[in-house]
A and B are shown apart, each in its own frame.
Chain A
Amino acid sequence: MLNLENIHAKVEGNEILKGINLEIKPGEVHAIMGPNGSGKSTLSKVIAGHPEYEQTDGKIELNINGKMQDIAELEASERAREGIFLGFQYPVEVPGVTNINFMHEAFNALCEHQGAETMDEASFREFVKSKLPILEMREDFLDRAVNEGFSGGEKKKNEILQMLILNPRVAFLDETDSGLDIDALKTVSKGVNTLKSKYNAIVLITHYQRLLDYIQPDFVHVLYKGKIIKSGDKSLALELEEKGYDWLIGDHQ
């Protein structure tokens, strides 16, 4: 469904990604791990189409209407409407725009793109309300400004709520576990697992394997200096937990 072929990318003139290859199929859960500065967040932003992350080589192919298509020319908003979701490590606070209004605009933009009928405000609110219990969120979150004054955990829950509303085909979750206490981690994981189906794929970008106790990955990849240096199954994550990254990266210094 999403193929990455030899992805190279630059941020502010520095090459961060140096040839990433990855194939993601529907129903799969991938985990991308790696030490700080290895390029994990960059990878997710390049795929989402952040304008300051420049893809310099390679191909990102997404299955659109049954055909694999290069999405290099698509803007971030178009990629999102084609089903790519990025859960932010640091969700942005947007004073003056209510959470429900933000999600409603996003949802209707998606509906329009898919040629489906848009939803009016009242029905949309009911729809969103039905998702709130999964994330143990109160309704008043909907009427507050987007992420404004939210705690770290609330911001991450809000990301997952948006994901559930938009029902993306491939979700990249960037350090969704960072800054969460154990209860919040469980709640957020429950939310992510709700999305999981044979139609969707999830890519967890994480520093620690803690999250993987709650969301079972099918594949684990280790990213180092802009390349995937090792791939394996869940046991790789456990091995990393035990031994750290040093034993792997020794050969790549």
Chain B
Amino acid sequence: METMQFYQQDAQKYFSENPLPSNLASIQKKYREKHTHFEIPNRKNDDWKYTNLENALKNHYSFFKQSSTELTTDKDTRFQNIYFLNGKLLEEKSELSNIEVFALSDIAPELIEEVFTREEYFATDFMTQFNRVNLEQGYYFKFAEKTHFQKTINIHHHYSGELSYNNQFNYYHFESGCEVNLLEEYTSDDNCGVNIANFIKIESAAQVEQISLQNLNNDSMFLQGHTALIKRDAHYNHVAFHTGSALSRNNLFIELLENGASCDAHGLYALKENQHHDTMSYIKHTAPHTESAQLYKGILADSSRGIFTGRVRVEKDAQQINAQQLNKNLLLSKKAQANSRPQMEINADDVKCAHGSTTGQLSEEELFYFQARGIDKDKASRMLAKAFAYDVVLKIKDKNTRDVISRHLHKKHIVS
């Protein structure tokens, strides 16, 4: 309880000193009144069975500890670069020419309301509610109808300030027929607490790729809610990579709302030491003729732990859908742990659904084969880990993004 008291007092003080624009303040107030009493989820809550959030929150991350820092700007010109610091958009540094960006407080109240009523499964989750009661300024990005964005948009989210708390909200609106590739990178030099909510609306026939790479400082806490609504014949390709933070958690909710909507939602968590990652995904097939594919992989070294819970729900009228889900974990040490919970709720009868999960170690025979050719065990492990990670990396369609991710995994010594 003490922990929550700290956060409540911290926010109270912060928002009294830094008042929000009135429309956001009223939203925040509404949530504050609704959630006067917060309980940090514990093991008794099935969705949080394997993740002890309180341990991370005990760091007492504070709004007041955010600090500004000079961002390094060796721009990779293959990308259109956009910069955030502590959740705030750095407009002057960012290349925004072809994107419409509005502060959340400047958009129509109905738009915001829509966002906050579409959370569904995660509406009652601690992370969502915690994000709302601490709602700060957020952003609404509009990608115009039928526009083909030539360059991949690289969004750099950097957090600064030891033990700073950062609450972030972003709304990405992809209009009909647009084609966009996004790469989002999350980094920090300090131990930061981040709670970010992304709301993504993909209108009919839009094609969106959104790759995220979370590599916060290894003591950090990273909580991300990610909601995507997908309309007729639109496609969403989302691949999330987690290599940073002491604790990271993804709440992923994707709803395939209309005929022909499809999504690929994949992920790789490559952890070491005491790092802990938990992905909870919920994919809802609301309309017929919709498709979803998921491939989540964990590479777990030392005493790290990776958790994947994947729920696929098929509604009664969602006939002729295809849903695939696979979780594979590679344990690189005896102390590493993986938990995998595939769950399917199928209420239609004419569907194709499959799920599976495996957890294993590097094969001794494979390792010996490498060693017998003069390759050291450590190098061999990394080559085999690379092979293991490879099919997730290949889910990235944009070549430049794939290059950034491959280099990152190599640099982190996860793969050769």
Which residues from chain A sit less than 8 Å from chain B, CB to CB?
Answer: 48-52, 75-77, 80-81, 85-86, 88, 91-92, 94-97, 101-103, 105-106, 109-110, 113, 145, 162, 166
Contacts and interface: CB of A to CB of B under 8 A. Distances in A.
A106 B383 contact: no
Interface stretch (B131-139, B163-171, B335-343, B365-373): B365-373
A74 to B, nearest CB: 11
Interface in B364-416: 364-366, 368-377, 379-380, 383-384, 386-388, 390-391, 416
A52 B364 contact: yes
30 contacts: A48-B372, A50-B372, A51-B364, A52-B364, A75-B371, A75-B377, A77-B371, A77-B374, A77-B380, A80-B371, A85-B372, A86-B372, A91-B369, A92-B369, A94-B369, A96-B391, A97-B387, A101-B383, A106-B370, A106-B373, A106-B374, A109-B374, A109-B375, A109-B376, A109-B379, A110-B374, A145-B387, A162-B373, A166-B373, A166-B374
Given A76-B368, A105-B416, 13 more contacts: A52-B364, A75-B371, A77-B371, A80-B372, A88-B372, A91-B369, A92-B363, A95-B387, A96-B387, A96-B390, A106-B370, A109-B375, A166-B373
Nearest to A172: B372
Given A96-B387, A96-B391, A105-B383, A88 B374 contact: no
B388 A96 contact: yes
Interface of B: 363-366, 368-377, 379-380, 383-384, 386-388, 390-391, 416
Interface centre among B363, B364, B377, B387 (most CB of A within 10 A): B387
B232 to A, nearest CB: 36
Given A92-B365, A92-B366, A94-B384, A113 B374 contact: yes
Given A88-B369, A91-B369, A96-B391, A106 B384 contact: no
B10 to A, nearest CB: 47
Contacts of B372: 48-50, 76-77, 80, 85-86, 88
> Most A CB atoms within 10 A — which of B370, B377, B384, B390?
B370
B387 A81 contact: no
B363 to A, nearest CB: 8
Contacts of B388: 96
Nearest to A113: B374
A55 to B, nearest CB: 15
Contacts of B380: 77
Contacts of B366: 92, 94
Contact of A102 (B364, B373, B390): B373
B127 to A, nearest CB: 34
What 6 A-B pairs are tightest by C-beta distance, nearest first?
A96-B387, A80-B374, A76-B371, A106-B373, A92-B369, A77-B371
B268 to A, nearest CB: 13
Contacts of B375: 77, 105-106, 109
B339 to A, nearest CB: 24
Nearest to A96: B387
B381 to A, nearest CB: 12
Contacts of A103: 373
A105 B391 contact: no
Contacts of A94: 366, 369, 384, 387
Nearest to B390: A96
A65 to B, nearest CB: 17
A77 B364 CA distance: 14
Contacts of A86: 372
Nearest to B383: A97
B376 to A, nearest CB: 5
B226 to A, nearest CB: 28
B374 A96 contact: no
A109 B370 CA distance: 11
Given A80-B372, A162-B373, A105 B379 contact: yes
B383 A49 contact: no
Contacts of A49: 371-372
Nearest to A94: B366
Contacts of B384: 94, 96-97
B385 to A, nearest CB: 10
A116 to B, nearest CB: 13
A51 B377 CA distance: 11
Nearest to B376: A77
Contacts of B377: 75, 77
B295 to A, nearest CB: 14
A96 B379 contact: no
A162 B384 CA distance: 19
A91 B374 CA distance: 15
A215 B365 CA distance: 29
Contacts of A51: 364, 368
B297 to A, nearest CB: 12
Nearest to B373: A106
A109 B388 CA distance: 22
A94 B368 CA distance: 12
Nearest to A93: B366
Nearest to A76: B371
A76 B371 CA distance: 5
Contacts of B416: 105
Contacts of A95: 387
Contacts of B368: 50-51, 76
A9 to B, nearest CB: 15
A51 B388 CA distance: 23
B49 to A, nearest CB: 32
Nearest to A88: B369
Nearest to A83: B374
A128 to B, nearest CB: 14
Contacts of B369: 88, 91-92, 94
Contacts of A91: 369
Nearest to B394: A96
A106 B380 CA distance: 10
Contacts of A105: 375, 379, 383, 416
B321 to A, nearest CB: 30
